[in-house]
Amino acid sequence: MRKSLILFVLFTAPLAGCMQDPASRGLAGATAGVVLADATDSNVLTGAIIGGLAGAASCGIELGLPPCQPRY
C-alpha cells in the first residue's frame, strides 16, 4: 500500500497543472486506477482501463477543474 501511494504521487504530480485536455485527464485516471487496483489486489490492467475512461469522460462534467481545451 505504501509503495502504491508513492507511485501515485510520482505519476500524478507532474499532471497537476495540465488537466485541461482529455488525454491528460485520461492518463491521470489510468494512473489512479492502477494504484487503486494494486491496493485492493484487483486486476491492474482493468483498473487502468476503467480509470483512463473515467478520467477522459470527466471533461464533460463540471468537477471544479479547468474546462477541457481541444488540442490543435
Whether 24 contacts 52, CB under 8 Å: no
Does 72 score more than 80 pLDDT? no
> Does residue 67 sit within a domain?
no
The pLDDT value recorded for residue 26 is 84
> Does residue 38 sit within a domain?
yes
Task: Show Cβ contacts of residue 9 under 8 Å, excluding neighbours closer than 6 positions.
Answer: none
> Does residue 29 sit within a domain?
yes
- Domain hosting residue 44, numbered range: 2-12+20-60
The pLDDT value recorded for residue 65 is 64
The number of folded domains in the chain is: 1
Chain segment 34-66, per-residue pLDDT in tens: 888 888 888 989 989 998 888 888 777 766 666
Full-model pTM: 0.65
Mean pLDDT of the chain: 76
> Does residue 50 sit within a domain?
yes
Three-state secondary structure call for residue 18: coil
> Does residue 36 sit within a domain?
yes
In the chain, the percentage of residues whose pLDDT exceeds 90 is 1
